[in-house]
Structure 1
Amino acid sequence: MDDKRSSAAATVSIQRFRAFLCVGISGFVFYNPTSAIQERSALVCENSLLTLDCEKKTGVIRISKANYGRLNLGTCNSLGTIEGWNLRCIQPNSKGIVAERCDGHPKCSITASSEVFGDPCVNTFKYLQVYYRCEPRTPPYTTESTTGTTTTRKAITTTPLRRVCDAVYIEGKNWPYTNVGDVASMKCPPPKVGTVTWRCTGRGWLGERPDDSKCELPVTESPSGETTTQKIRFCEMTVSQGIIWPQVRVGKEVERPCPEGKLGKVTWKCTGAGWQGERPDESMCQLPIRAPIVCENSVLTLDCEKKKGIIRISEANYGRINLGTCKSQNTTDEDVRCIHPESKRIVAERCDGHPECNITASSEVFGDPCVNTSKYLQVNYSCEPRSKHTVTYFE
């Protein structure tokens, strides 16, 4: 009997001690593994789309840390660059930018680009790293109503308030990310003139569709007494495919780098009726082709004739960044940090715009970036359509 009392007293003491640890004398909350929410992380390279998803956990996203920049050499470095990059590249507003788009949502996407975050370190290839938690949705509360002898309980679930409304495409318009309380506006579709508006609230966009009640047909008197209509002169700034498209004049075509790690350019033309088509033209976007590596003094052939396209070089290096490729007998003195910074330019001068080209991997062509080291040539490229000729336009 005494043993049971001692055991019970010990249990109570342990529970009180745990409670003391949780509350603390200064009000701090200590880590409790039974109730803590696991922190997750996600990372994508520059110009790729990052998606955070808490839908499977039936929760909402809460951003804890984020940075768009670079803090090491190893991440997003397919060619083994060893110098010239800023390894203290921090965008201090990264968390706020990601949180505005994602906090309180079950799922969200954001592009890791300088158009979204600004460029914290020019001439450095960056990446976006985000730490987040999937928090439970606001728990439901119940209301009771009694009729005679019957009591009815009804569960009511509250939805977390948003800080920003997601970008959305509706009725031929791309509505951009908008802060709660702000009103997004766009020009009315021709031939009407005026402004279409849509208010962002804590519960999302107000109503099922934008408010076009202020759109009217213009009335101007011509010498013959006929009514004429007015075409738009600009296409408004918008967001589509995770890319920000600036305001441009009618007749201009805008180019942007392809999203999600693809090579090439995505284009969108501004017409008198607004942006052409429902979405930008991604026909020039392609996954990179990794050419066979050729050892020193061998000939590399790049071929886009079968694809009826022309060559566009994306990455190249004549040198050595490991011991395993094109092995030589002299393995002890090989320089595995041998990077030729002009490799891409030299290959591009020979190959860009051609359906096929040959180039010799030799120091006579490239110069010798590391004497007494056997080298090799590595090239990544894409095949672009021949018929597509555009001019980059920024306004």
Structure 2
Amino acid sequence: MPSCFRLSAALLLTATCFTLTAVVDSRERMTTCDTDPFNTHRLTCDEGVISVDEALYGRSDSLVCSEGRPAQELANTQCAQEGTLSNISTRCNGKKSCEVNTATFRNPDPCSGILKYLETNFTCFPAITVVACEGSLAQLFCDVGQVIFIYGADYGRRDQSTCIFGRPQEQIQNTECLLPSDIVANTCNGKNNCTILATNGVFGDPCRGTYKYLEVAYTCELLIILTAVVYSRERATTCDSDPLNVHRLTCEEGVISVDEALYGRSDSMVCSEGRPAQELANTQCAQEGTLRSILARCNGKKSCEVNTATFRNPDPCSGILKYLETNFTCFPAITVVACEGSLAQLFCDVGQVIFIYGADYGRRDQSTCIFGRPQEQIENTECLLPSDIVANTCNGKNNCTIPATNGVFGDPCRGTYKYLEVAYTCEYPISQPSHVH
């Protein structure tokens, strides 16, 4: 995902003649009750990448995941599965998000007859992550006075949840396809902004027949004082050079608000590599309804994907190579996703309190909380139940925990494995800042 004018909310008090990283790490916890054969444990960083600190499968507390359970299932608080930390670290370290099924840890059973849970404490280390689907442009941006420093870049595929919209199964099933590359670092390090085309022509083809994507983790390092800001502006551009190309929007921090969207061509240079001049000649080409369609699909979400094929009929300019380009704003919000059976845990710094933007329980995609789930449990993506339960429970508190269960929210779609999505901010109660909805 391109990040245009990525702005940090950290306030630096001094300027120096050497570079400083503009963000700090955050510590997180995820707990998933092992009450269902397919419960999914999901770790995610709103900003940065995961570094696992501690992990437990078993029971160390009689109150966690205790609702409705008899005392004998909660009695052993010295229960721990060996190898849990190593397993979670291998699966999740260095990723922006990862999922693992609790079933992974059940054999051998560390304490028969005890209701167990999987709990992970992890740190989100500072990094901006960009994902560009094959055929798209990875666009890296820093503020004025900042320069890019690349942590790492990989081209290939390591999951079946990224850049999948409209793709046949055979093009996304190979998740052992990953090609680390120093091309991005060599091209972008030390620059204020940088654009890289995510194609086999640039990176080579690590797995023929697989639809790939480029993942980049980087920081913007300061040469001058950075003042506090409240949002960032972004751009995503996807060349319509393949029948199934995927356009992906995502916010490192906050939620999407679409400003402009174009399907067509307004610039002869964009997506022009290797194309004859006649395919680039019309720069007054725009498909009607593009902005409305992107707004409906993406506004208010942390990330969304749409296939460029959505906009091809009728063709706005026959014979012209078109692209889909979206300018959008990431409004400030912390987002939490808790898979059904897990606990959504909301935290603020000392002196701050929670303000809920919104909360939904259900399912709206086939890429979240899917690990080990049969297809019939994740295929209903029209299942969404907005709820004010989280706001009524958590607003004004410094921290708050909500179980993501049908018992709390009701069941908007029986037979579907659901998740709870919460967007919130941490505010100082005295200042009463305005909210963006």
User: Could you say which structure has the larger radius of gyration?
Assistant: 1
Same fold (TM over 0.5): no
TM-score (norm 2): 0.29
RCO (CA 8 Å, sep 6+): is it higher in 1 or 2?
A: 2
